[in-house]
Amino acid sequence: MIYPKKIPNWIDGREVFFKRKSSQILKKNPTDGTELGYISSINKEEIDSVITVALKKFKIWSNTSVVSRGELLKKTAMQMLLKKNEIAHIVRLETGKSMHDALLEVDGAIELGFFIAGEGRRFYGKTAPSAMPNRFAMTLRQPAGVAALIVPFNTPIANVAWKSFPALLCGNTVVLKASKDTPYTPIWFAKILKEAGVPSGIFNVIQGLGEEVGEALIHNRRVDLISFTGSTETGKHIQKVAADRLVKISLELGGKNALVVCDDCDINAAVEWSILSAFSNAGQRCAAGSRIIVFEKVYEVFKKIFIKKTEELKIGSSDTDDLGPVINGNQLSKMINILTKAKNDGISVLTGGFRIQDKKYRGGFFLAPTILENALPDSEISTCELFGPITSLYKVKNFNQALDMTNNSPFGLTAAIHTKNINRVQEFINHAEVGVVSVNGPTYGSEPHMPFGGLKQSGTGWREPGVEALNFYSQWKTIYVKHNPKEV
Ligand code: NAD
- Atom nearest to 287 CA in ligand 1: 34
Instruction: Tell me the sheet residues that pair with 475.
Output: 142
Q: Is the CB of 252 under 6 A from ligand 1?
A: yes
SS3 146: strand
Q: Do 265 and 242 share a structural domain?
A: no
> In ligand 1, which atom is closest to the CA atom of 208?
11
Question: What does the alpha-carbon distance between residue 158 and residue 285 come to, in Å, rounded to a whole number?
Answer: 12
Asked whether residue 451 is assigned to any structural domain, the reply reads no
Active-site annotation, residues: 252
CA of 151 to the centre of ligand 1 (A): 6
Q: How many domains does the chain have?
A: 2
pLDDT at 444: 81
- 273 lies in some domain: yes
Q: Does residue 450 belong to any structural domain of this protein?
A: no
Answer yes or no: is the C-beta of 253 below 6 A from any ligand 1 atom. Answer: yes
pLDDT at position 337 is 97
Indicate if 240 and 303 belong to the same structural domain: no
Residues 178 and 53 grouped into a single domain: yes
pLDDT for res 202: 98
pLDDT at 203 (0 to 100): 98
| pLDDT of amino acid 22 | 74
Q: Is the separation of the CB atoms in 178 and 186 below 8 Å?
A: yes
Specify whether 33 is located in the same domain as 106: yes
Sheet holding 370-373, edge to edge: 348-351, 370-373, 390-396, 289-295, 257-261, 414-418, 436-439
Q: How does pLDDT run along the chain (488 residues), one tens digit per residue?
A: 689 999 999 999 999 999 887 789 999 999 999 999 999 999 988 999 999 999 999 999 999 999 999 999 999 999 999 999 999 999 999 999 999 999 999 999 999 999 999 999 999 999 999 999 999 999 999 999 999 999 999 999 999 999 999 999 999 999 999 999 999 999 999 999 999 999 999 999 999 999 999 999 999 999 999 999 999 999 999 999 999 999 999 999 999 999 999 999 999 999 999 999 999 999 999 999 999 999 999 999 999 999 999 999 999 999 999 999 999 999 999 999 999 999 999 999 999 999 999 999 989 999 999 999 999 999 999 999 999 999 999 999 999 999 999 999 999 999 999 999 999 999 999 999 999 999 999 998 789 999 999 999 999 999 999 999 999 999 999 999 999 999 99
DSSP state of 154: S
Atom of ligand 1 nearest to the CA of 452: 40
The alpha carbon of 152 and the centre of ligand 1 are apart by a number of angstroms equal to 4
In this structure, the answer to whether residues 205 and 234 fall within a common structural domain is: yes
Residue 394 lies in a domain: yes
Distance CA 383, CA 409 (A): 6
CA-based nearest residue to 282, from 324, 318, 227, 242: 324
CATH code of 377's domain: 3.40.309.10
Range of the domain at 223: 6-253+459-476
The DSSP secondary structure of 82-106, one letter per residue, reads HTHHHHHHHHHHHH---HHHHHHHH
pLDDT digits 0-9 by tens, 396-444: 999 999 999 999 999 999 999 999 999 999 999 999 999 999 999 999 8
Does 483 fall in a domain?
no
Closest to 366 (Cα-Cα) out of 347, 350, 383, 353: 353
210 Cβ inside 6 Å of ligand 1: yes
Q: For residue 127, how far is the Cα from the chain centroid? A: 34
How many angstroms separate the Cα of 176 from the Cα of each of 51, 59, 151?
11, 19, 8
Residue 1: predicted pLDDT: 65
Q: Is the CB of 444 under 6 A from ligand 1?
A: no
Ligand 1: which residue has its CA nearest to atom 11?
Answer: 210
Amino acid at site 316: G
Distance 132 CA to ligand 1 centre (A): 49
Nearest to 271 by CA among 173, 393, 408, 176: 393
Q: Are residues 89 and 120 in the same domain?
A: yes
CB count in 10 Å sphere of residue 426: 11
Does the beta carbon of 249 sit less than 6 angstroms from any atom of ligand 1? no
Residues 263 and 248 in one domain: no
Report which secondary-structure segment, H or E, holds 295.
Answer: strand 289-295
- What atom of ligand 1 comes closest to residue 458's alpha carbon? 41
CA nearest ligand 1 atom 31, residue: 231
CB-count burial class (<10 Å; 0-12, 13-18, 19+) for 15? middle
Looking at the structure, tell me whether residues 239 and 263 fall in a common domain: no
Residue 127 lies in a domain: yes
In a domain, residue 270? The reply is: yes
Task: Check whether residue 244 and residue 389 sit in a common domain.
Answer: no
Q: How far is the CA of 179 from the centre of ligand 1 (A)?
A: 8
What CA–CA distance (Å, rounded) separates 442 from 415?
8
d(CA 157, CA 101): 12
CA of 318 to the centre of ligand 1 (A): 27
Q: Are residues 242 and 270 in the same domain?
A: no
Question: Do both 233 and 294 map to the same domain?
Answer: no
Same-domain pairing of 155 and 266: no
Preceding omega of 156 cis (within 30 degrees of 0): no
Question: Which ligand 1 atom is nearest residue 413's CA?
Answer: 41
pLDDT of residue 446: 83
176 Cβ closer than 6 Å to some ligand 1 atom:
no
